Structure 1
Amino acid sequence: MVWSPSRLAELAGTSRRTVRHYHQLGLLPAPERRSNGYQHYGVDHLIRLIRIRRLAGLGLTLPQIAAVGDTDRVPPDVLRDLEAEVGRSIDRLQATRAELVAMIEQAAPIDVPGVVARRVEGLPAAERALVVVLTRLLGPQPLDAYLDLLAPYRAHAAVIAFDNLPADAEGAAREVVATGVADHLRELSALRPAQMQLIDAALQDTGVKRRTVQEAVGNLYNPAQLDVLARALRRNGRPRPAGFGRS
């Protein structure tokens, strides 16, 4: 029995264009042309094409399929790698499903993962926006450390004063808040040194990350707040980022 290219593709559940692609890669032998100039495929072509589609459906790449050749066994190491990748894909899909369920049932926000959203409820808009940026810059462990520090950080009166500081605050008011924030950060560093160092190391990983945070902070806080941050950093012996100055 022989089939046309279109019929062969239909039987294997694919397209004629895909069949041509497999020919070009050498995965599927090209049939000889008959005297009338038309290509006709036989059972061997159909079996080979079905096998290619089966392996591709399992996740093998076309080079891996080519390496298998005409044998009916896939090397165990290839299968083990593929199984591990499938497991990772399942984990990602399950996490995605959990976020969708949270968004449906809890009206969770869309700009941060569900597990993060639950930990930033009630934050001021500027701080919450900064967390959104940090979810893209920090890995899972540094981000978890940052979120763990939010509650003890925000429990201090100086932080609340910082949140409410108007853009035209006088220098004396700024100095009081800066002193409180600096002292609080030193105390927090002494109590949670591992977490503070983890966050700092993650942001130092590339200059781009630290500059991105500085740019975000510079756009999220008003001039008086930025001046307070600069003063607090200076009090704790840290360099003042560009744009964090008096205004």
Structure 2
Amino acid sequence: MAWSTRELANLAGTTVNTIRHYHRLGLLDVPEREYNGYKQYEVRHLVRLLRIRRLVSLGVPLSQIGEVSAGGDSTTDALVEVDAELAARIEGLQRARSDIAAVLRDSAPADTPAGFESVASRLSEADSSIIHIYRQLYDEDAMADLRNMVDADTDAVGNEIAALPANADEIARQQLANRLAPVLARNMIDYPWLTNPAAHLSKSPHITQQTFIEAMVELYNPAQLDVLVRASVLAHEQLLDPNDENGVGR
């Protein structure tokens, strides 16, 4: 019994192009051709092809199939490595399913930063963008704390800052800064690492600072940045003053 390339592909549940690819890689011998020029595959080719497909189904890279199928010394190491990669992929898929469930549960935008689905409605476009960037700069503990900060902030000041036009007047800026400062001061008390985040950085301090500055300038207009800077200064002053009227000093 002999089969054509297409017949062999159908038997093995693969494609003609896949068989030709295996030929090019030297994984599958090229059979002799008949007088009409067509390749004629035998049982040994079918068995070899099925063995290759079995290893592919296990996740063995094509570059390692020759060694693994030959039972070489590196077979065990190769399989252990493949198993570790599969475990990582499974973990990633499970995490993706969990994130999708959170997005659906909270009716959040699909591109909401992971972990912030339930508070997505409180985030401006700029806030959501900066949180995405934070996830590349800070560790998971820091992101969990940030999520708690957003959850605890029930004041509408964030929305007002988001709506602040670039040409906002002095009075509007100062009023917003005055309202935001106690919130920032309270966060600094509850999460002391905010004043010295080195232990929570996933990138170098230089890269973190440079990325943070560039992101803030790009994502917030001049008036919003002015409010954030003023509020930060006021928050630090309130922390230094144990008798501040907002009661956040220490």
Q: Could you tell me the TM-score, scaled by structure 1's length?
A: 0.72
Residue number in structure 2 paired with 1:230: 229
Matched, 1:6 2:1: no
Residue number in structure 2 paired with 1:194: 193
Deviates more, 1:217-226 or 1:191-200: 191-200
Residue number in structure 1 paired with 2:40: 40
- Whole-angstrom CA distance in 1 between matches of 2:110 and 2:186: 34
| Equivalent AA in structure 2 for residue 100 of structure 1 | I
Deviation at 1:128, TM superposition (A): 3.8
Matched, 1:31 2:31: yes
Matched, 1:78 2:78: yes
- Whole-angstrom CA distance in 2 between matches of 1:164 and 1:140: 30
Deviation at 1:198, TM superposition (A): 5.5
Deviates more, 1:55-64 or 1:210-219: 210-219
Residue number in structure 1 paired with 2:241: none
Residue number in structure 1 paired with 2:21: 21
1:122–1:187 Cα change, 3 Å: closer
- Contact 1:167/1:225 (8 A) holds in 2: yes
SS in 2 for 1:115: coil
Deviates more, 1:85-94 or 1:124-133: 124-133
- Whole-angstrom CA distance in 1 between matches of 2:171 and 2:111: 37
Residue number in structure 1 paired with 2:60: 60
| Equivalent AA in structure 2 for residue 43 of structure 1 | V
| Equivalent AA in structure 2 for residue 60 of structure 1 | V
Summarize deviations over 1:12-56 as a string: whole Å, max 9, x none: 111222111111111111223345543222111111100001111
1:229–1:99 Cα change, 3 Å: closer
Summarize deviations over 1:169-194 as a string: whole Å, max 9, x none: 44466456546656754553344223
Deviation at 1:86, TM superposition (A): 2.0
- Contact 1:146/1:195 (8 A) holds in 2: no
| Equivalent AA in structure 2 for residue 32 of structure 1 | E
Residue number in structure 2 paired with 1:131: 131
Matched, 1:99 2:99: yes
Percent sequence identity over matched residues?
35
Deviation at 1:143, TM superposition (A): 2.4
| Equivalent AA in structure 1 for residue 39 of structure 2 | Q
- Whole-angstrom CA distance in 1 between matches of 2:165 and 2:3: 79
1:204–1:91 Cα change, 3 Å: same
1:206–1:22 Cα change, 3 Å: farther
Summarize deviations over 1:122-181 as a string: whole Å, max 9, x none: 3455434433444465553432232233345x3679868756756444446645654665
Question: What is the number of residues matched between the two proteins?
Answer: 235
